[in-house]
Structure 1
Amino acid sequence: MARQLPYQTLREIFSRFQAADAEPKGELDHVNAYTLLVAVALSAQATDSGVNKATRALFPIADTPEKMLELGEDGLIAHIKTIGLFRNKARNVIKMARILVDEYGGEVPNSRAALEGLPGVGRKTANVVLNMWWHYPAQAVDTHIFRLGNRSGIAPGKDVVAVERAIEDNIPADFQLHAHHWMILHGRYTCVARKPKCAACLIRDLCEYEDKNL
């Protein structure tokens, strides 16, 4: 685990991220808060591209909890069977739809506690929805962010909650809204797990990673 980078270094890092991509976007396809919630829930232990492929035909016919309930668990499985853990995910999505209809009038709640109370929704999923749909500065820590945070010193921590706190406590406030997207994209495409692309990294001179490849 690298040491926590100082404030001015973090400001320079995120200034560079912002200059390269001022408005980073999540890569899961969605049309409203509900389809975003479903897509993020389906993305656990799956790739965004794999989820998008599965939901391409699903969301045009089931873009609300009511329509998802009409489709039913078997109908949903037919659309998402290419995604890992599809049976368990289908069960949770249908249960989630029932709760949203019965307790929230078919609307997706905009509080972390309420979101985490839904089947198949953990802290990371809740934070993604809060950030992407309601533009809260919530930090959704996935494997890419956890790796990048610890390897670079941007946000070191022994677990995902510690990394989330490190982001919230140390990254300048004016970068908080897009921080997790910049970090996900950098971890997904540049600071990859097995062989990070240090030669192409725009923050290489600021990073604490000791094994930078030449």
Structure 2
Amino acid sequence: MPRETNAAKRERAIEFCHRMNERYGPVECFLDYTTPFRLVISVLLSAQTTDAQVNKVTPELFRRWPEPEMLASASVSEVAEVINSLGFYKTKAKHAVQTAQMIMADFGGKVPQTMAELTRLPGVGRKTANIVLNVSFGIVEGIAVDTHVHRIAHRLKLSPKTHENEPLKTEQDLLKVLPHEYWESVNHQWISFGREICQARTPHCDKCPATDICPSVRMS
């Protein structure tokens, strides 16, 4: 098969985004939160854990430590006890407390609003920072590439095979192929699609609205 041109790939990526928008429209954040601080902590806790599991532990977590100044003075062991149903809960508890401490010490108790500052926070990488900037502050600097977005990007062949194990490089590939106005909606719409249709083990290609533009169709 002839190699796809960059223009054709871009057109296909945009068309996929249009179809996701038609199917899902605006999608709210899947994590329960009320403030930028609580969103930072919730996304930090969600690494390699489902949003539903995080939403089960955060009511008690934020009941005990609702603001950064309170969590900053919390015992890591007590936080770990509250979130012990999550994967890697001990490390996440340490990062949550350290993040609250840095927010207090370096940012006057306010969640910072730049990528560079957010990624200084312990346990906060580019994916988390993208979500916080987008959802809490309406700042769109990139695309949060979680497991669903990563999987879909590669099934659509919008990112090369050499980047299959590198979400940060996959993000850069998506940023190159999609115009800026599409970045904001990708994460939550593609997560919805990944959960409903383009699942990891058994993608429901027979129900997919994009089979005609997907190079990885598996029709049963």
TM-score, structure 2 length as denominator? Answer: 0.88
Distance 1:172 1:123 in 2: 19
- Where does residue 200 of structure 1 map in the other structure? 207
String of CA shifts for 1:122-157, please: whole Å, max 9, x gaps: 121111111211222221111211111011124446
1:96: how far off?
Answer: 1.1
- Where does residue 34 of structure 1 map in the other structure? 37
- Where does residue 143 of structure 1 map in the other structure? 147
String of CA shifts for 1:27-83, please: whole Å, max 9, x gaps: 111111000000010011111111100112222332311121344323322320111
Q: Does the residue aligned with 1:183 lie in a helix, a strand or coil?
A: helix
- Where does residue 169 of structure 1 map in the other structure? 176
- Long gaps (5+) in structure 2: none
CA contact (8 A) 1:10 1:172 kept: no
User: Paired residue for 1:213, among 185, 199, 219?
Assistant: 219
- Long gaps (5+) in structure 1: none
- Count how many residue pairs are aligned between Structure 1 and Structure 2: 212
Q: Does the residue aligned with 2:63 lie in a helix, a strand or coil?
A: coil
Amino acid at match of 1:172: P
CA contact (8 A) 1:149 1:156 kept: no
1:104 and 2:110 correspond: no
**Bigger mean CA deviation after superposition, 71-80 or 189-198:** 71-80
CA contact (8 A) 1:95 1:119 kept: yes
Residues 119/165 of structure 1: CA separation in 2 closer, same or farther (3 Å cut): same
Q: Does the residue aligned with 2:32 lie in a helix, a strand or coil?
A: coil
String of CA shifts for 1:160-198, please: whole Å, max 9, x gaps: 122111221111333221112222222232111111011
1:107: how far off?
Answer: 0.5
CA contact (8 A) 1:156 1:162 kept: no
1:17: how far off?
Answer: 1.0
**Bigger mean CA deviation after superposition, 96-105 or 131-140:** 131-140
- Where does residue 63 of structure 1 map in the other structure? 66
Residues 154/135 of structure 1: CA separation in 2 closer, same or farther (3 Å cut): farther
Flag as ranges the 4+ runs of structure 1 deviating above 4 A: 2-5
Distance 1:92 1:161 in 2: 21
CA contact (8 A) 2:74 2:97 kept: no
1:113: how far off?
Answer: 1.1
CA contact (8 A) 1:28 1:39 kept: yes
- Where does residue 114 of structure 1 map in the other structure? 117
CA contact (8 A) 1:43 1:51 kept: yes
Root mean square deviation of aligned Cα: 1.9
Amino acid at match of 1:213: M
CA contact (8 A) 1:42 1:51 kept: yes
Q: Does the residue aligned with 1:110 lie in a helix, a strand or coil?
A: coil
TM-score, structure 1 length as denominator? Answer: 0.91
Distance 1:53 1:96 in 2: 21
